[in-house]
Structure 1
Amino acid sequence: RPRPPVRSSRGGKVPLRLSRELSARLEELARRRGATLFMVLLAAWQAVLARWSGQDDVVVGTYSGNRPRKELEGLIGFFINTLVLRTGLAGEPSFAALVDRARETALEAFAHGDLPFEKLLDVLQLPRDPSRTPLFQALLVLQTFPAARVDLSTGVRLRSMAVAGEKSDYDLALWLGEGAEGLGGVLEHSTDLFDAATAERCAAWLRHLLEAAVADPERGVWTLPLIPADEQARHLAAWSRGAEVPAGPELLHRLVEEQSARTPDRVAVEAGAVHLTYAGLLDRAARRARGIEPGTVVALSAERTPELIVALLAVLQAGAAYLPLDPAWPRARRERMVVEAGAVVAKDDKVAKDNNDPALPGFPVSLLSLPTLSSFSSPQSPAYLLYTSGSTGHPKGVVVPHRSIASFVRGAVADHGLAPGDRVLQLASLSFDTSGEEIWPTLAAGATLVLRPEEMTGSIPHFLRELERLAITHLDLPTAFWHELAAGLEVEEAALPRALRVVLLGGEEALADRYALWHRRAGSSVRLINTYGPTEATIVATRRDLTGLAPGAPVPIGRPIPGARAYVLDHHLHPVPPGLRGELWLGGAGIAQGYLGRPDLTAESFRPDPFAAGGARLYRTGDLALLTPAGDLLFAGRADRQLKIRG
């Protein structure tokens, strides 16, 4: 859970038991390394904390009895001092090497054990943070004094009882002691941050890491398993792969053509007073397609008009790929994209053949009206080219093939419940891949694509009125806009339009407090679906239906969509257990071909998939995520600490 601004001492504890055999092997490992049992346990505890946090510099506290002389042992009084143990895990150390580092750390700390902890804080003058304890938040204590013997009267029996803990002085405190059956103790945890199930998983990680470490002390500490191999395999099989994609054409335009044959007279595109039927859409697109050279990239001015929807379909039918260019972008940016893509631009009723002449004012589109042309496309052929925002460097052209977008569309039609009679608002800029989530599933399902009026998003009340007037049933919103909508519903005490059935989110992390507002105003009357996916994975890779999700908890991004795969991996490309953060890698049918003209960047971001055969690839998102015990993915920030500013 998120750390509260002021920590409390509310806590709980879970038991931890190490078998007699494991305890003996830990003692033996300590002897071989010239260390103590405490030092081995310190290495293991810091390794677990490093794996959990993703950090290679770990600070743990411990208590020292601080009675270095025999004369002090029998004195009554509080002599205990707190020591700070800082160990680095950089450089891919083996567990044996980490024990050596922990030994040096502990020896240095105990050599200065008479320095009061309070004096250390006074000298360091660290800024105080009321949300956490100073210097360290995790404790390790190994109690080695012998068990006390109590003589009682005849017939009286004495046994220990476990008492539920209700406080914890630290985020995590591992208390261990030696007994006849091996090492045992408790893991205390702050209930502000962790529930009992999380603490139990942490204790299990430590136990399994210790078992693996004594079996192979020379194994790298970052690769020691935290859960059994069969459990990891079950997680991969159950949570990392989406369902099968519904059967259907593998060419994007074929999906629209087949639907047009079933519902030729239904309205496909609506823009104000303009209503274009499916038959009319296909007729106009087919007549225009003959003016486009197969195998080219056609740059289109991404203005929200019925003519652009016709042009998109015409490009696909001709066996070409489209490149949407937002007319609001700076001219230099549009020209650079055209040159890099080797794109042709339609102008003055002809298709420009000179790919080296981007100086076409405004990049107008007017494709030729010629007889129908048979398709030149294959499932591997590019369907469209979209440029990334450039937030991690120079904008890159992502090449998306037909098989990827067609797979996404077939799955989205089924998942979103789209059918003839539905009305989908086309809200997003045509230069963003979200527009593909609005356009193509709608036209493949026989629904109506409603192009939004430009002034529609001027205010939340006006937006809601327009949704009601247009009888929108399906809405695809940027998460930032949905945040404003959720707050607006609360402030205005407004209701959602009566026809609205499905709302999709995507683009950034959905905030838990905004979901609570939405839940209070909308309840389960509208199906709310949170999605995640970069352009390189074809619009959406994971989704989570939030219907029924209790407010207050973090909003998950769900599980892989049909045909997709999603893995949370460490920097060795090994899966991490549920509850641990790792980098999110995506695979499956939606993975793009790569970056146009940038084989170096393609090789860096698109890697062979170690979990699939047949030349499959994974895309490295650069995003951090973790798996919940229920199998949902939670977004956990950026691996590169990238910040989004006014984006």
Structure 2
Amino acid sequence: MHHPIGQHAQRHPEALAVHETTTGRRLTYRDLWNLAGSLAVRMTDAGVGPGDACGIAMDRGADLVVAMLAVARTGAHYVPLDNGAPSQRSAAQLTDATARAVIGTPGDGTRVQALAPRLPVIEVVRECAGDPLGTSHASGADDALYVNFTSGTSGLPKAVVVPHRAVRRLVDVPAYCAVGLGTRVGNAANPAFDATTFEIWATLSAGGTVVVLPPVAAVGLDGWLDLLRTERVDALFLTTALFHMIAHERPAALGVLDTLLVGGEALTPEAARRVLAAGPPKRLVNVYGPTEATTFATYYDLTPERLDQLDRVPIGHAIQHTTLHVLGPDLLPVPDGERGELCIGGPGVALGYQGRPDLTAERFVTVPGFAELGTLYRTGDVVSRGQEGRLEIFGRLDRQVKVRGFRVELEEIERAAVATGLVEAAVVEKTAEGAAAALVGFVLPVGGDGLEPVVLAGKLHAALAAVLPDYMLPARWSVLDRLPLGPTGKVDRAALLAGDAEAQTPPQAPAGSAGGELPEAGPVPGDVLRLWCEVLDVPDARGDDNFIASGGNSILAIQLSSRISEAASVELGPAEVLLAADLTELIDSVRRSMSGRG
């Protein structure tokens, strides 16, 4: 994957490769190639060579792009870490991937070293003279380029090994998004999320510019959307949850794009119709694909005509160099119109799960009698092939869910909860979709513990926050004295969810009761309270309600801050919503902003 970038560095050395919107830092293709070469020398000196794994512990930015390219040039493969994840989880991923070193940004060595005390920490290069590494390792098509971790049913994340040929297939004249010389592609994904593969490699292999965008929560919704316009972003990938929120709040703002890709969860026709009716991007595309099939496997262009009378958005057709098969339990094709498991073939299929030969054999299969299809990845998604050969998706064969674009195996959370020693059984389920999607948990406490339910829930949340990323933490826990069972003796999950929904329906204690008193009535408290309840979809709220504890997340914080800013004519950022101790403190913050404005 690195050779096309080297060619661009020779043919168009002054072309812009990377631009950081928050710092103004710019790297030409010559800069990028030379910096990556210098870092590759450091890696080689530290003992990293072909076939080795190297962790990358940094946020998105020019340094990240340099690190990814440098690892590829040494013939090693990178392991992108989520800097927002618990350090214990990142450390375990480095161990599972058998990393030989970790790359960090200058000045961040202490934090990175703590993840893997026995591994060398290599600081990324920001200045160099010339190209100290004139050649690059000639990696083979099946040599690994990176390892991405996904949630696992065993309680441990799975390490998906993705080779060079899989990424080449993703970026080779992509049918789902035109990228060429000078195309400006937004980089908005978490480095550990495999959408980064498209944002970085598809852009650089085509001679485009990676436009590094800040988190929406850091600059606010309007500020972030304004960056798309001022930075002249041509193409962008958005998680479905973020797209749904923007479609509701600012549907016309996405019209500045040439191509908008949306994926990660089921897309609602209503959200797509709002954007298409408000001055849409030139091309709006629903994309689908598991990590094991390298980011995207299907695409479907959305137009008003294609969405007419549809209640489900199709995932569409195969992208280039990809085959799609709808198979029954016997792994034989089912007739068009019937439902089966989607199995994906072609060069985009990963090599398997590192250190998990049993799971690799289960999910990466060869169909008897159809060896010419090669290895197929069994997605576990239930689909059917409809009109014009387009695929529609109907759910899962297992208990995997999507939360804000991330794959989550509910069993991983359940096992982690039991492993804390605080509970003897745990059941976790997902409620709602899109920005309002949340995980809820139900537990049986360890016998004789005697902890109050609210104390147990707090201890459990704190224990899990040390080992799981925030998107895998249930918004609330229900402590039960027994789990309801169905006719077969299994846990009745539908009954648990029905009971949870019923418990959330009655109004909470009146505002003004002990500990929950809101400031005196007036237009500002009234607006904030009303918007709080609308965004969190709760019937009422108390002054001492916390946003996160009430089911909030970063996307809902963006939505709430945007609505409050508009209603009260103030500048309120998502961070102020997330950091406010409770609703009363948020209202006080809005009042101070109004006083300062006056």
- TM-score when normalising by structure 2: 0.60
1:339 aligns with 2:101: no
Structure 1 segment 496-645 matched on structure 2, within 5 A: 496-498=254-256, 500-523=257-280, 525-547=281-303, 548-553=305-310, 554-610=312-368, 612-613=370-371, 616-644=374-402, 645=430
**Contact 1:257–1:282 (Cα < 8 Å) also in 2:** yes
**Contact 1:624–1:637 (Cα < 8 Å) also in 2:** yes
Question: Which amino acid in the other structure matches residue 620 of structure 1?
Answer: R
- 1-structure distance, mates of 2:253, 2:348: 36
1:307 aligns with 2:63: yes
- Match of 1:320? 76
**Contact 2:56–2:79 (Cα < 8 Å) also in 1:** yes
- Match of 2:238? 477
Partner of 1:437: helix, strand, or coil? helix
Partner of 2:123: helix, strand, or coil? coil
Instruction: Return closer, same or farther for 1:622/1:255 CA change in 2, 3 Å cut-off.
Output: same
1:465 aligns with 2:226: yes
Instruction: Return closer, same or farther for 1:305/1:347 CA change in 2, 3 Å cut-off.
Output: closer
Could you tell me how far 1:571 is from its partner in structure 2? 0.7
**Contact 1:289–1:373 (Cα < 8 Å) also in 2:** no
Could you tell me how far 1:458 is from its partner in structure 2? 5.2
Question: Which amino acid in the other structure matches residue 475 of structure 1?
Answer: L
Could you tell me how far 1:455 is from its partner in structure 2? 4.7
Q: Which of 72, 85, 88 is the aligned partner of 1:329?
A: 85
Partner of 2:250: helix, strand, or coil? helix
- 2-structure distance, mates of 1:541, 1:304: 24
Q: Which of 275, 299, 302 is the aligned partner of 2:26?
A: 275
- Match of 2:14? 265
Higher-Rg structure is 1
Could you tell me how far 1:371 is from its partner in structure 2? 3.4
Partner of 2:393: helix, strand, or coil? strand
**Contact 1:290–1:373 (Cα < 8 Å) also in 2:** no
Could you tell me how far 1:327 is from its partner in structure 2? 1.5
Question: Which amino acid in the other structure matches residue 283 of structure 1?
Answer: N
Could you give the per-residue CA deviations for residues 154-207 of structure 1, whole angstroms, max 9, x where no partner exists? xxxxxxxxxxxxxxxxxxxxxxxxxxxxxxxxxxxxxxxxxxxxxxxxxxxxxx
Could you give the per-residue CA deviations for residues 520-559 of structure 1, whole angstroms, max 9, x where no partner exists? 2135x52011111100001111111123523441211111
Instruction: Return closer, same or farther for 1:616/1:560 CA change in 2, 3 Å cut-off.
Output: same
1:427 aligns with 2:184: no
Question: Which amino acid in the other structure matches residue 629 of structure 1?
Answer: Q
Structure 1 segment 439-450 matched on structure 2, within 5 A: 439-450=200-211
- Match of 1:380? 142
**Runs of 5+ unmatched residues, structure 1:** 1-251
Instruction: Return closer, same or farther for 1:347/1:473 CA change in 2, 3 Å cut-off.
Output: closer
Instruction: Return closer, same or farther for 1:306/1:393 CA change in 2, 3 Å cut-off.
Output: same
**Contact 2:179–2:208 (Cα < 8 Å) also in 1:** yes
Instruction: Return closer, same or farther for 1:455/1:503 CA change in 2, 3 Å cut-off.
Output: closer
Greater mean deviation of Cα atoms: 357-366 or 529-538 = 357-366
Could you tell me how far 1:362 is from its partner in structure 2? 12
Could you tell me how far 1:394 is from its partner in structure 2? 2.2
Could you tell me how far 1:392 is from its partner in structure 2? 7.2
- Match of 1:291? 42
**Runs of 5+ unmatched residues, structure 2:** 44-48, 403-429, 431-437, 439-470, 472-598
How many residues align structurally?
Answer: 385
- 2-structure distance, mates of 1:361, 1:551: 58
**Contact 1:468–1:497 (Cα < 8 Å) also in 2:** no
- Match of 1:406? 168
Instruction: Return closer, same or farther for 1:465/1:313 CA change in 2, 3 Å cut-off.
Output: same
- 1-structure distance, mates of 2:42, 2:376: 37
Instruction: Return closer, same or farther for 1:455/1:629 CA change in 2, 3 Å cut-off.
Output: closer
Could you tell me how far 1:288 is from its partner in structure 2? 1.9
Partner of 2:278: helix, strand, or coil? helix
- 2-structure distance, mates of 1:530, 1:611: 33
Instruction: Return closer, same or farther for 1:305/1:545 CA change in 2, 3 Å cut-off.
Output: same
Question: Which amino acid in the other structure matches residue 284 of structure 1?
Answer: L
More helix per residue: 1 or 2?
2
- 2-structure distance, mates of 1:319, 1:313: 10
**Contact 2:101–2:119 (Cα < 8 Å) also in 1:** no
- Match of 1:107? none
